[in-house]
Chain A
């Protein structure tokens, strides 16, 4: 009788599993069809770090360099000089997004609230060098800020990253056109 009981138990166990799969089969799917549909990310969700500006469009960054020092992977590159009023003027602010690990420490340590984590995350590009984002690009994304800074993050306009990237491409072409001596791969970086 032990065998029979075993068989009955097995059949019941297997039948239960089939009940579950049948039930789930009839349920609506949970898939989000990604490129067509996008989830609404919560504010503070960490995409690429961007530079914020005040109402006049001037960068809040004071070139103090704390973010550069505190970045665990050292991907931030800042160049500045002393202006006429002895204040630092930001010349270059590059972030190498190919090495950035989106930890958000730069936004956290910034005493002026000049860096925030945006909700832009689609970083595909054709050239490795294009993954280094420059001051103007970071500022352009930061200017489309839609929400106040929450959890060191902001929301930006949908698709702004693509626009910025398209802008860079055309700018690179116009820059490369007169100066034919510079190699084209460097053209986009040196502007």
Chain B
């Protein structure tokens, strides 16, 4: 794969769609930071030729909250609630990225029950997050109703989270060495009942939205990237898998109990908006499959390992990563052996995917821009941190 991304980019711009059409005077339009479908505060400076996009310059930083700097002043348990607030739609997996890194650094053993619970939460979180993505993606395409349907199911999962963790979005649930609260058998039954009826809801979404010819026409062949480009730009998660690369950290570098689970890595080959759509819809089904296996076999035991009262990470550099609903969330930790990290870098998949935006959008129409932003599923809280 070419490391020189700049030359790669230049060759790619030669074959942008619609470049054979007559040109008119170009117009600059500010899409965002206040715009209904830039998913928060993304500002994309579009150069338009009529409705056709000539260039995209995405401007980030409107939601910067100094997450990484704050972490340098907090002791390790205090960082956990902050990670929830980076990618606020997938708090569980963010906490996991931090917690797994620190546990690896200090060599903590996590009881099997806690590992199971963590995996359950991570997969529930994936469905939870993908439901929002589905709703907002449909909203971007102009269909308002799927949004409400997906939120209906998401509420149920939020209730599950609230019952165990005490919160619906900002969980603060993972602990170094285990989890905060134990799950109950009634809770497990409730989740199992939900999983039983959830495929019907997915079928409903398919009937309503996936099978719609307008959706096909608006997503197929739009925002295409190749596998080489995706790898060169460091894409991960559904964006990478939609280009046909079956890379999933749950398989490539298994954490928790993923190596014991039966699941398929959802992939699609086209690399366009439609492919990313299908990958995410498929991932929800795979998560249901995983959750069924997990809930059937939660072992008895402790939920907290023997964590020291005061957590100090030995001096050194550590990296831990998990597959969040959006891609690879990485936690790069530099410690000098203190109670606080010396430096904590957060690898945000959304930030990486945003670099792909010009590549995807050039040559397409204004309306496709909205679909493309929706399909890479950015959360500005994570992009800016």
Contacts and interface: CB of A to CB of B under 8 A. Distances in A.
- In the complex they form, whether A and B have CB atoms below 8 Å apart is answered with yes
A78 B77 CA distance: 21
B142 interface: no
A105 B209 CA distance: 42
Nearest to A30: B152
B149 A24 contact: yes
A70 interface: yes
B74 interface: yes
Contacts of A44: 163-164, 166, 181
Given A13-B212, A21-B145, A108-B180, A46 B204 contact: no
Given A104-B166, A117-B166, A151-B181, A72 B82 contact: yes
Nearest to B211: A13
A4 to B, nearest CB: 14
A110 to B, nearest CB: 14
Contacts of A151: 164, 166, 180-181
Nearest to B167: A46
| Residue among A19, A70, A101, A153 having the largest count of chain B Cβ atoms under 10 Å | A101
A133 interface: no
Interface in B57-86: 74-75, 77-82
Given A21-B145, A21-B208, A105-B77, A42 B213 contact: no
Nearest to A71: B78
A148 B208 CA distance: 46
Given A13-B213, A19-B207, A102 B170 contact: yes
Contacts of A19: 207
How big is chain A's contact interface, by range?
20 to 34
Interface string B178-214: 0011000000000000000000000010011101111
A46 B208 CA distance: 36
B335 interface: no
Given A41-B162, A102-B170, A103-B170, A72 B78 contact: yes
Interface residues of B, number: 30
Contacts of A10: 213
Interface string A138-153: 0000000000000111
A81 interface: no
Contacts of A153: 166
A101 B212 contact: no
A101 B170 contact: yes
B77 A14 contact: no
B119 interface: no
Contacts of A99: none
Interface in A115-145: 117
Interface in B137-172: 145, 149, 152, 159, 162-164, 166-167, 170, 172
A72 B74 CA distance: 7
A17 interface: yes
A10 B81 CA distance: 48
B207 A16 contact: yes
A125 to B, nearest CB: 22
| Residue among B145, B163, B166 having the largest count of chain A Cβ atoms under 10 Å | B166
B207 A17 contact: yes
A16 B166 CA distance: 39
| Residue among B163, B181, B211, B214 having the largest count of chain A Cβ atoms under 10 Å | B211
A20 interface: yes
B181 A72 contact: no
B145 A70 contact: no
Interface of B: 74-75, 77-82, 145, 149, 152, 159, 162-164, 166-167, 170, 172, 180-181, 204, 207-209, 211-214, 216
20 contacts: A9-B213, A13-B213, A14-B213, A14-B214, A20-B204, A20-B208, A21-B208, A24-B149, A44-B163, A44-B164, A72-B74, A102-B167, A102-B170, A103-B80, A103-B81, A103-B172, A104-B172, A151-B181, A152-B166, A153-B166
